[in-house]
Amino acid sequence: MTIEFETPKPIANMRYMLQTVAENMMRPISREMDENEHEIPYGYIEFMHTAMKSTGAGSLAPQEKKEKKEENPGKPKHPPIAYQSLASMLEMLAWGDVGMYLITPGGGLGAAAVQAAGSPEQKAKFLERFDGEKPTFAAMCMTEPQAGSDTSAIRATAVLDKETNEWILNGEKIFVTAGHKSFVPDEQFGAGFLVVWATIDPTAGRGGMRAFVVETGTAGVAVTKLEHKLGIRVSDTAAIVLQDARVPFDALLGSPTVEKTTTGFKGAMATFDATRPLVAATGVGVARAALEEVKKMLSEQGVTIRYGLPRQKLTAIERDVIDMEIMLKSAWLMVLKAVWMADNQKPNALESSMSKVRSGDIVAKVTQKAVEIMGPLGYSREFLLEKWFRDAKITDIYEGTGQINRLVVARQILGYSGAELR
C-alpha cells in the first residue's frame, strides 16, 4: 500500500465523458426543470440509459464484477475501484444537476439495498433489469410519517401467508426518492421496484426489520402524494401506501426468521455504510458547481483570487473563496477515502459517516457563501447559484441527518454503543 492521489485512468476518462453529459444534457434544462416541478425530462433519462447500457454500467449500484475466467494469470491484477468510480461518477452528475442525478435510471438506493442484502440469486433476478431495453428505476422505502432518523420505529408490517407462501405488507412510506418512477407503470420505462422495509415481528425491534422487493404495479400499493420541495424539484419524492399488498416469498432480502440478533437492521446499516459516501459525493458535486461558478463570475467582473498570500493581505472575498476551496477539496478526499475502503473491504462506518458529515456541512456553507458573494446576482433566478443553494440542503438530511452521522462518528471514536450514546 501507499499514499497516492493519482486519478485512475478509467475514472478520469469516465469523468471527462460525464462532464460533457452534464454540460450538454443537464445544465441546459436545470432551470426549466426546477421551475416546473414534477415534469419528467424523458430525453435525459433515455440518453443516460442508452449511454450507461453501452458502457456496461447498467446499474448505478456498484456491482461485483461478473466472474471472469482469468485470461492472463501472469498479468498483475488491478486494484478494485468500483466504489471509487461510482463516487466519481455521482460527483460529476451532481455537478451537472443533483436533482437530475437522482432520477438517473439504474436502480439508485433500491438496487444498492439489493446489492447489500440480497442473495446471489436475488441479485441476479432483481438487478438484471437495469440492463434492459428501457430505462428502469428502483427506490428505497424506509421513512414513515412517525419514523425518520429513528428507523427502528417503523411500523410497516410483513406477515407470511403460509398457504400461498406470500408476504402481506401493510404500512405507509413517505419521502421516497424516485418512488413514482419506480412504482407507477410508465410505457417509457421498464418495470422497476421498491425496496420496502417492514417488520416481520413487531415485538423483536430491530431484529425484526427486513427489506422486501415490491415490483412495479403490485396490487395494494399506491403512490398517494408527490411532495413539493425546497430544491431537487426534478426528483420525485413520493408517499406510498401499502394495503394488504402481496409479494412472493423470495421478495424478502435476508433471513425469514427472527433470531435474537439485529441482522435485519444491520443489513440496513450496511447499506448506509455503502451509500453515505455516495450521497456525500453528490454534495461535493453541488459545492464544486457553485464554487466554480462564483470564480467564473468573479473573474468576469475583474476579480482574481490571489492564492498564496497571507490571510492578512487577502480581501474578504478572497478569504471566503479560499475557505470554500479548502472545504470542497478536503470533503472530496474524505469521500474518496471512504469508498476506497469499501473497495478494499475495509470496515468504513466511521469514514462513511465522517464524509457525510463533512459534505453536508460544506455544501451548505459553500452554496450559502456563493449566493452571498454574488449579491443580487447570487439571489437571481437568472443564474443557478440560488438553485444550488436550495439543492444543497438535502445532503445534510437524507441518508442520515448531520446529527445522526455525528452520532455514528462519536460512537466510533468513543467506543460507545447506541445505548451509551443516544
Partner 1 sequence: MYSFEPNEEQQMLIDAVRRYAKGDLRPAGHEAEESKSLPKKLVNKGWELGVLQASIPEAYGGFGERSAVTGALAAEEMAWGDLAGSLAVITPGLFAMPILLAGSEEQKQEWIPTVIEADWPKYTAALIEPFFDFDPNDLKTTATVEGDDFALNGVKMMVPFAAEAEAMIIYASLNGLTKGFIVPKSSAGLSVSEPEKFMSLNALPLYRVTLENVKVPQSHILDGDFAPILASMRVANAALAIGVANGALEYARDYAKERQAFGVKIAQKQAIAFMLAEMATEIEAIRLLNWEAAWMLDAGKEEAVIQAYLAATGAADMVMMVTDRAVQILGGYGYIRDYPVEMWMRNGRGFASFTGLAIV
Ligand X SMILES: Cc1cc2nc3c(=O)[nH]c(=O)nc-3n(C[C@H](O)[C@H](O)[C@H](O)COP(=O)(O)OP(=O)(O)OC[C@H]3O[C@@H](n4cnc5c(N)ncnc54)[C@H](O)[C@@H]3O)c2cc1C
Residue appearing with cell numbers 442508452: 50
- At residue 202, the 3 state secondary structure works out as helix
Shortest Å distance, C-beta 407 to ligand X:
6
Distance CA 54, CA 11 (A): 16
Q: Does 316 bind partner 1 (CB under 8 A)?
A: no
Q: Which of 22, 141, 209, 258 binds ligand X (CB under 6 A)?
A: 141
Shortest Å distance, C-beta 150 to partner 1:
15
Q: Does 336 bind partner 1 (CB under 8 A)?
A: yes
Q: Are 264 and 206 in contact (CB under 8 A)?
A: yes
The residue annotated as part of the active site, out of 91, 144, 172, 399, is 399
Distance CA 422, CA 420 (A): 6
Shortest Å distance, C-beta 117 to partner 1:
27
Q: How many residues bind ligand X (CB under 6 A)?
A: 21
Q: Which of 138, 142, 286, 342 binds ligand X (CB under 6 A)?
A: 142
Local structure of residue 307 (DSSP, 8 states) = T
Strand partners, 96: none
Q: Which of 12, 153, 230, 410 binds partner 1 (CB under 8 A)?
A: 410
Closest CA to 327 of 374, 287, 297, 289: 287
| Dihedral pair phi/psi, residue 184, rounded to 5° | -80, 120
Q: Does 420 bind partner 1 (CB under 8 A)?
A: yes
Distance CA 166, CA 357 (A): 40
- At residue 402, the 3 state secondary structure works out as helix
Q: Does 337 bind partner 1 (CB under 8 A)?
A: yes
Q: Does 341 bind partner 1 (CB under 8 A)?
A: yes
Q: Does 310 bind partner 1 (CB under 8 A)?
A: yes
220-250 per-residue burial string, b: 16 or more CB within 10 A, e: under 16: ebbbeeebebebbbbbbbbbbbbeebbbeeb
Q: Does 237 bind ligand X (CB under 6 A)?
A: yes
Q: Which of 326, 347, 380, 381 binds partner 1 (CB under 8 A)?
A: 326
Strand partners, 138: 193
Q: Which of 4, 67, 70, 121 binds partner 1 (CB under 8 A)?
A: 4
Q: Which of 60, 174, 374, 407 binds partner 1 (CB under 8 A)?
A: 407
Q: Does 95 bind ligand X (CB under 6 A)?
A: no
Q: Does 149 bind ligand X (CB under 6 A)?
A: yes
Distance CA 193, CA 253 (A): 13
Shortest Å distance, C-beta 92 to partner 1:
16
Q: Is 6 a catalytic residue?
A: no
Q: Does 312 bind partner 1 (CB under 8 A)?
A: yes
DSSP string, 208-243: GEEEEEEETT-TTEEEEEE---SS-TTS-EEEEEEE
Rg (CA), the chain: 22
Q: Does 133 bind partner 1 (CB under 8 A)?
A: no
Q: Are 61 and 115 in contact (CB under 8 A)?
A: yes
Q: Give 387's contacts (C-beta < 8 A, 6+ positions apart).
A: 30, 31, 34, 231, 381
Q: Which of 53, 329, 365, 390 binds partner 1 (CB under 8 A)?
A: 329
Q: Which of 59, 84, 136, 143 binds ligand X (CB under 6 A)?
A: 143
Q: How many residues bind partner 1 (CB under 8 A)?
A: 46
Q: Which does 394 bind (CB under 5 to 8 A by kind): ligand X, partner 1, none?
A: ligand X
Distance CA 266, CA 117 (A): 9
Q: Does 124 bind partner 1 (CB under 8 A)?
A: no
Rounded to whole angstroms, what are the CA distances from 374 to 316, 320, 368? Answer: 13, 12, 10
The residues annotated with a catalytic role in the active site are 399
Where along the sequence are the contacts to partner 1 (CB under 8 A)? 1-8, 79, 81, 84, 307-313, 322-323, 325-326, 329-331, 333-334, 336-337, 340-341, 351, 354, 357-358, 403, 406-407, 409-411, 413-414, 416, 420-421
Where along the sequence are the contacts to ligand X (CB under 6 A)? 109, 139-143, 148-149, 175-177, 229, 237, 394, 397-398, 401, 403-404, 407, 422
